[in-house]
């Protein structure tokens, strides 16, 4: 199976770096973006299967970014990263087409499983449209 292309969007640079490093060792082609606008720019330039998106970011917040991603790239799947107890954000995120979410702190294996499921969905969806 081809590598999964993942984009991690979080305003904490250390987190993004750590993440990209660990994922690139596991057959995941990971890239990072530090903000919503950066992420949208990246998506325009390069193909991505799954976006892992932090909900809480200064400036353009996660829900806004999610809406934009789904509008411009409906086939890209989004996994939201949330803190505990953001029920309202969770409801909004799911309503706007987020595939799944995972709470910080999380287990990398667990996230990997979710990423593969999200990618499976993208492939199914593409098969249908094609």
Partner 1 sequence: MEPLLRSVRGRRLLPLGPALLVLAAALVGRDLTGLPALILALAAAAGVFWAVSWVAEQAARSRLEECRLEEELLQSQKMAAIGQLSSGIAHEINTPLAVIGQEAELGLMELDLPDLKAQAGLDAARDNLRQIALQVERCREITHKLLSLSRKMEAIVQDTDVNALTEDMVLLVEKEARLKDIELRRNYAESLPPVATDPALLRQVILNLLNNANQAVERQGHVVISTDMPARDRVRISVEDSGPGISPENMAKLFTPFFTTKPPGQGTGLGLSMCMTIMQRLGGAIQAASPPGRGARFEILLPLRPNGRGD
Select the span of 5-13, 24-32, 45-53, 78-86 touching partner 1 (CB under 8 A): 78-86
**Can residue 108 be called a binding residue for partner 1 (CB under 8 A)?**
no
**Can residue 124 be called a binding residue for partner 1 (CB under 8 A)?**
yes
Q: Which of 44, 54, 104, 57 is nearest to 79 (CA)?
A: 54
Report H helices in 31-101. 36-45, 62-72, 87-95
The strands making up 77-82's β-sheet, listed across from edge to edge, are 28-33, 4-9, 50-54, 77-82, 100-103
**Can residue 95 be called a binding residue for partner 1 (CB under 8 A)?**
yes
**C-beta of residue 67 within 8 angstroms of C-beta of residue 24:** no
**Can residue 73 be called a binding residue for partner 1 (CB under 8 A)?**
no
**Can residue 23 be called a binding residue for partner 1 (CB under 8 A)?**
no
Among 84, 107, 109, 130, binds partner 1 (CB under 8 A): 84
**Can residue 87 be called a binding residue for partner 1 (CB under 8 A)?**
yes
Q: Which residues pair with 78 in a beta bridge?
A: 51
**C-beta of residue 53 within 8 angstroms of C-beta of residue 80:** yes
Among 26, 91, 104, 108, binds partner 1 (CB under 8 A): 91
Question: Smallest gap, in angstroms, from Cβ of residue 47 to partner 1?
Answer: 20
Interaction site with partner 1 (CB under 8 A): 82, 84-87, 90-92, 94-101, 103, 117, 120-121, 124-125, 128
């Amino acid at each position: 199976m081809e590598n999964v292309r993942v984009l991690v969007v979080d305003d904490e640079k250390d987190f993004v770096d750590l993440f990209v490093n660990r994922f690139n060792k596991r057959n995941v082609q990971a890239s990072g973006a530090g903000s919503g606008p950066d992420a949208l720019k990246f998506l325009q330039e390069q193909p991505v299967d799954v976006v892992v998106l932090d909900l809480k970011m200064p400036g353009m917040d996660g829900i806004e970014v999610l809406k934009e991603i789904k509008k411009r790239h409906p086939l890209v799947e989004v996994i939201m990263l949330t803190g505990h107890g953001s029920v309202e954000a969770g409801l909004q995120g799911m309503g706007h087409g987020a595939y799944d979410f995972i709470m910080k702190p999380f287990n990398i294996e667990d996230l990997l499983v979710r990423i593969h499921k999200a990618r499976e969905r993208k492939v199914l969806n593409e098969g249908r449209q094609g």
